[in-house]
Amino acid sequence: MLPALFCNAQRSLPVPPHRGRPRPRRALKAVEAAPGPGCAEGRVLAMIFDRLKRFSVVLEGAEGDAAVAFSPGQAVSGRVVLELAAAARLGALRLRAMGAARVHWTESRSAGSSTAYTQSYSDQVEFLSHRDTLLAPPDNGEATVLQAGRHEFPFTFQLPETLATSFEGKHGSVRYWVKAKLHRPWSTVKKVKKEFTVIEPIDINTPVLLAPQAGAKEKLARAWYCNRGQVSVTAKIDRKGYTPGEVIPIFAEIDNCTNRVVVPKAAIIQTQTFIARGTKKQKKSVVTSIVGDSIAAGKREVWHGRALKIPPVGPSILQCRIIQVEYSLKVCVDIPGTSKLLLELPLVIGTIPLHPFGSRTSSVSSQYSVNLDWLSTIPEQLEAPPEYSAVVSSPEAEQSLAPPCRSELGGILEGPFFAYIQEFRFRPPPLYSEIDPNPPSDNIRPRCMTC
């Protein structure tokens, strides 16, 4: 069959010999593209070469090449676009939507004084798998002929109700994409892929995330087995849940009972945890930090709501089996000659901001046994925090918190590096009024927002 395919083409377009070397691909393509009279198979090849001008996947809501984001349970709609310069025969057009979390890393092990080996850890969790045939071949097995011009093939599918937020890390990722495959006679399969973002909604307007966080720690400063005194720190924040762009007011008291100068600091720490085969791999990084004034020996420093702004970062990932992203607020004191004093308070970075109703002026320190009498009042929150999408899609997201160098990934992660969630829109919080339309009855004890 193959010799007959090029019967007339070889006679009409002779190719000079190449001294035993394989014929160049350019010359071979010229032979195939110039069929002689009466060679039907050659005409088939001519129809499919250089006829496909455009082959792409377009998702509704996307502007240009910008990434589009969806929520779990939402319908994803789009179309596969084919643009032909001339009529062409096509086999089938198939679509597949996928979503999965993957982790991979290696560790060096020693099996003796002179033996070493590398242990590899990998795991995968599939969240989404959808298949569809947009253009099926006829029952007789013949190819479908499409005329020149633009052809669109719409598709839609439903996302599951439970999905992990899109994420890119050093040892793993959570990705979602749509892939289209175009089957053509006498040609390789043409593929095109379009990635999209999924954001798991995290509403910080829940009792758990509205609960204040507080703690206290102390440490003895020692040098050469001599006691140099004690450093203690007490800190509190008004709630556990925040959204990017908000300011965390830190209330803290640092007592320096040593004979040395100490320096207090506060930072938001991101902890990425990757799990495979019962083994964990963690990567910690500083999201943002502040440095307080030096505290002289025998002195005390008080922070009356020291501001720490949350930069554009991805939300917490807490429900994925193999990848977790957690945040914490760490208040530490640098003590010369000894290790640091660290106090850690848990944080959850959400996507739905605090509803701007009610006042949060009531003290929450009474819920804790820690002596925080000097924190009896929390300042009035005069305005609602910014929308999640307004903060995360800002240009500064590309500049702050630079992700790890791409060379460190070792070819594991192929897609665009996803350090921040961009171009995502959540519905705004519901409207509110100063007067509650459903006031509580007299026999029900009202509760404050932080209860």
Distance CA 427, CA 71 (A): 11
224 and 339 housed in the same domain: yes
272 alpha-carbon distance from chain centroid:
12
Extract the tokens encoding 59: 């998702």
- Our CA dihedral for 349, 350, 355, 359, rounded to 10 degrees, sits at -20
Largest Cα span, the chain? 102
Instruction: Give the range of the structural domain holding residue 383, as residue numbers without chain letter.
Output: 207-391
Extract the tokens encoding 70: 């969806």
Distance CA 285, CA 372 (A): 30
Count how many domains the chain has. Answer: 3
User: What pLDDT was estimated at residue 357?
Assistant: 62
Distance CA 100, CA 124 (A): 7
141 and 160 housed in the same domain: yes
Residue 226 placed within a domain: yes
Distance CA 330, CA 237 (A): 11
User: What pLDDT was estimated at residue 428?
Assistant: 39
77 and 184 housed in the same domain: yes
Residue 446 placed within a domain: no
User: What pLDDT was estimated at residue 205?
Assistant: 96
The angle formed by the CA atoms of residues 22, 25 and 27, to the nearest 5 degrees, is 90
Residue 98 placed within a domain: yes
Distance CA 392, CA 268 (A): 17
Q: What is the DSSP letter of 373?
A: G
Extract the tokens encoding 306: 């020291």
245 and 385 housed in the same domain: yes
pTM of the predicted model as reported, rounded to 2 decimal places: 0.68
Residue 412 placed within a domain: no
What lies within 8 Å, CB to CB, of 77 at 6+ separation is 59, 60, 154, 155, 156
Cβ(231)–Cβ(296) below 8 Å: no
Cβ(49)–Cβ(31) below 8 Å: no
Strands 323-334 and 263-276: antiparallel
Cβ(148)–Cβ(48) below 8 Å: no
Residue 136 placed within a domain: yes
Nearest CA to 181 among 97, 98, 93? 93
Nearest CA to 250 among 262, 240, 264, 238? 238
Q: Which residues of the chain have pLDDT under 50?
A: 1-13, 15, 18, 20, 24-42, 44-47, 49, 358-451
Distance CA 46, CA 33 (A): 5
Extract the tokens encoding 423: 């171009």
70 and 131 housed in the same domain: yes
Cβ(228)–Cβ(258) below 8 Å: yes
156 and 75 housed in the same domain: yes
Strands 279-291 and 190-198: unpaired
363 alpha-carbon distance from chain centroid:
36
36 and 69 housed in the same domain: no
How far lies 92's CA from each of 44, 45, 146, 157, 369, in Å? 16, 17, 12, 19, 69
CATH number of the domain enclosing 342: 2.60.40.640
User: What pLDDT was estimated at residue 413?
Assistant: 31
Following DSSP, what letter does each residue of 158-219 receive, concatenated?
EPPS--PPPEE-SSEEEEEEEEEEEE-TTSPPEEEEEEEEE----BS-SHHHHS-EEEEEEE
309 and 276 housed in the same domain: yes
Cβ(77)–Cβ(61) below 8 Å: no
User: What pLDDT was estimated at residue 90?
Assistant: 87
> How many helices and strands, by DSSP H and E, does the chain display?
6, 20
236 and 285 housed in the same domain: yes
pLDDT 10s digits, 28-77: 444 344 444 444 444 544 445 468 899 999 999 877 666 789 999 999 99
Q: How many CB atoms lie within 10 A of CB 219?
A: 17
Residue 397 placed within a domain: no
Q: What is the DSSP letter of 437?
A: S
76 and 95 housed in the same domain: yes
Sheet of strand 279-291: strand arrangement: 241-242, 341-349, 323-334, 263-276, 279-291
